[in-house]
Amino acid sequence: MLKVDQIDVYYGNIQALKGVSLEVHEGEIVTLIGANGAGKSTLLKTLSGLLKPKKGTIQYLENSIAGKPAQSIVKAGISHVPEGRRVFANMTVEENLQLGAYLRKDSQGVKQDFERVYELFPRLLERKKQLSGTLSGGEQQMLAMGRAIMAKPKLLLLDEPSMGLAPLMVKTIFSIIEEINRAGTTILLVEQNAHMALSVANRAYVIETGSVVASGPAAELQASEQIKEAYLGGL
């Protein structure tokens, strides 16, 4: 579904990604793990059109999307839930969700997806008239994911969905990620909580200082002594 081949990405003169290659197949959950500042978020921003690679190619459903504007990438079926949630604080929950569907013309489908989002996140239904800025961190994460689902993506890019959340809320968010995937959405997940990420993913890539240093089935990486030592607190 997605093929990234040898991309280099810079912030000014600083190289953030160095020759990164990866693949995501339809129906998978693929996770990127690595330390803070390793380049994981930069990669997602490049895939969603917020950054342009200086070198390399990105193929999505066999079409080149490297350097395409973000709007056309959303139209093609890729939604990005950024780190830090970025909900529109002065708009209601419902208005935020409506914004997610702004490129869609199928009003019946939009209505069904509203129902689906409220089914996945019952708490959003309870708070649909509430201003988003007044929600808890966990509720804002649910809203950011719900808003992305409203764009009807084939591929969902999730950046640090568990950041700053209480352990119970982390479990809830991860079970919803699995549910979204089971319903047919492919997921590329960036996550600091390597334990949780590897437990839900099919495959994983490890990024260090802008380069992929390891990849393989998630269970295999979870069992690797080297990975345990570096990313799983030696457990």
Q: Rounded CA gap, 168 and 157, in Å?
A: 22
**Phi/psi class of residue 62: alpha, beta or left (left: φ > 0; alpha: ψ in -120 to 50)?**
left
Range 2-81+152-231 has CATH code 3.40.190.10: no
How does pLDDT run across 92-146, given as a tens digit for each residue?
Answer: 999 999 998 887 889 888 999 999 999 989 999 999 999 999 998 889 988 998 9
CB 193 within 8 A of CB 170: yes
How does pLDDT run across 139-150, given as a tens digit for each residue?
Answer: 998 899 899 999
Tokens linked to 158: 């999730």
pLDDT of residue 233: 65
Give this prediction's pTM: 0.89
Query: Per residue of the chain (235 residues), what is the pLDDT tens digit?
Result: 999 999 999 999 999 999 999 999 999 999 999 988 899 999 999 999 999 999 999 999 999 999 999 999 999 999 998 887 789 989 999 999 999 888 788 988 899 999 999 998 999 999 999 999 999 888 998 899 899 999 889 999 999 998 888 888 888 889 889 989 998 999 999 998 898 999 999 999 999 999 999 999 999 999 988 888 887 765 4
